[in-house]
């Protein structure tokens, strides 16, 4: 499929309907809600992983992979290739902010684990749905189903809120469900943008759009900090699509460009740009979900790596 057809298909899909499933009164226009939680943890946790399914008997069952900070002392741990997740490991002590991560077309959550497990090791619970009709193994793959995925993301958030209140689930009491970010790559980036529509819950504090873009109706409601990551040589979703979304963002925003990169090779450890993308996204999450001012101040240095990366920012100083 050509570049213009793919971008047009994604645009049409999200324009057709991306309304969130939860509404809440937000602060005055132009105001970003920031509550100080002190400095984000700088330690690294072991990583646990578990699987669950949201609405298993409903019309759109949603399998979810969850990576989370695990209690120390398990058999797994870090390696030269990154954290090694331990299935159903005990959860570390504390409450951790949540990141809802959306995969791209014909992809799966585990194909993004190089990034998501590192976020979990840094102190975040990462919940990654397998979207029913756009994942790699979908028997009835339908590109246009992207329009339904922002609502799936909100369905997952509601499920996590309920799960945190239960007494019989290992993650109960460990989810900071008032501090949630959305992130995603490619079609998952468009899905992420589609979650920031008018009336969206203030639980959603920030977003990371990787190789994606925003559409009419996105970036409305309570303004939230947004980070855009894009390869300047992307042949699938041109960087101009991401730049246009960045220009339309109503709250604080930043754009990390990778001049010689394509559609996502910079998400692979060891590839040029991965270190900058990891450091920038991690500190962006630390700033927006832990309200850590030192993480905000580190962002320009995190992103610095000419000629590999170029950073543009409308973030507070």
Whole-structure pTM value? 0.89
What pLDDT shows up at residue 28?
A: 39
In this structure, are strands 96-102 and 175-185 parallel, antiparallel, or unpaired?
parallel
Mean pLDDT of 51-60: 97
What pLDDT shows up at residue 132?
A: 98
Q: What is the pLDDT of residues 261-314, one digit of tens each?
A: 999 999 999 999 999 999 999 999 999 999 999 999 999 999 998 899 999 999
Mean pLDDT of 16-41: 44
Average pLDDT of the chain? Answer: 88
Token pair in block for residue 109: 């959550």
Q: Is the pLDDT at 70 greater than 70, yes or no? A: yes
Q: Is the pLDDT at 55 greater than 60, yes or no? A: yes
Mean pLDDT of 101-108: 98
Q: Is the pLDDT at 74 greater than 70, yes or no? A: no
What is the spatial distance between Cα 152 and Cα 182, in angstroms, rounded to a whole number? 12
Q: Which of 36-45, 104-113, 275-284 has the lowest mean pLDDT?
A: 36-45
What pLDDT shows up at residue 41?
A: 86
ω into 101 cis (within 30 of 0) = no
What is the spatial distance between Cα 112 and Cα 189, in angstroms, rounded to a whole number? 13
> 81 pLDDT band (50/70/90 cuts)?
low
Share of the chain above pLDDT 70, in %: 85
Mean pLDDT of 207-212: 98
Q: Is the pLDDT at 226 greater than 80, yes or no? A: yes
Quick check: 200 and 221 in contact, CB under 8 A? yes
What pLDDT shows up at residue 2?
A: 41
Which residues make Cβ contacts (< 8 Å) with residue 59, sequence separation at least 6?
none
> 80 pLDDT band (50/70/90 cuts)?
very low
What pLDDT shows up at residue 38?
A: 54
Q: Is the pLDDT at 213 greater than 80, yes or no? A: yes
Residue indicated by tokens 């927006």: 288
């Amino acid at each position: 499929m050509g570049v213009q057809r793919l971008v047009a298909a994604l645009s049409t899909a999200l324009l057709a309907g991306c309304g969130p499933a939860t509404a809440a009164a937000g602060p005055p226009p132009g105001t970003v809600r920031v509550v100080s939680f002190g400095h984000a943890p700088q330690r690294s946790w072991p990583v646990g992983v578990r699987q669950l399914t949201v609405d298993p008997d409903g019309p759109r069952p949603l399998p979810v992979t969850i990576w989370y900070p695990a209690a120390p002392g398990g058999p797994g741990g870090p390696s030269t290739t990154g954290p090694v997740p331990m299935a159903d490991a005990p959860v570390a002590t504390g409450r951790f902010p949540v990141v809802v991560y959306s995969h791209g077309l014909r992809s799966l959550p585990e194909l993004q684990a190089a990034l998501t497990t590192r976020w979990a090791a840094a102190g975040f619970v990462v919940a990654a749905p397998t979207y029913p009709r756009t994942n790699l193994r979908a028997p009835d793959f339908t590109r246009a189903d992207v329009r339904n995925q922002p609502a799936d993301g909100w369905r997952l958030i509601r499920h996590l809120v309920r799960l945190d209140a239960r007494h019989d689930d290992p993650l109960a009491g460990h989810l900071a469900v008032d501090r949630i970010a959305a992130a995603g790559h490619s079609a998952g980036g468009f899905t992420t943008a589609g979650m920031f529509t008018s009336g969206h819950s203030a639980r959603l504090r920030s977003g990371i759009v990787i190789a994606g873009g925003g559409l009419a109706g996105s970036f409305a409601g309570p303004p939230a900090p947004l980070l855009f990551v894009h390869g300047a040589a992307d042949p699938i979703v041109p960087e101009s699509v991401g730049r246009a979304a960045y220009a339309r963002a109503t709250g604080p925003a930043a754009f990390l460009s990778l001049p010689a990169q394509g559609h996502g090779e910079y998400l692979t450890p060891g590839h040029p740009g991965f270190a900058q993308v990891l450091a920038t996204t991690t500190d962006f999450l630390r700033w927006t979900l832990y309200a850590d001012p030192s993480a905000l101040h580190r962002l320009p240095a995190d992103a610095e790596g000419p000629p590999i990366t170029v950073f543009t920012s409308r973030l507070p100083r």
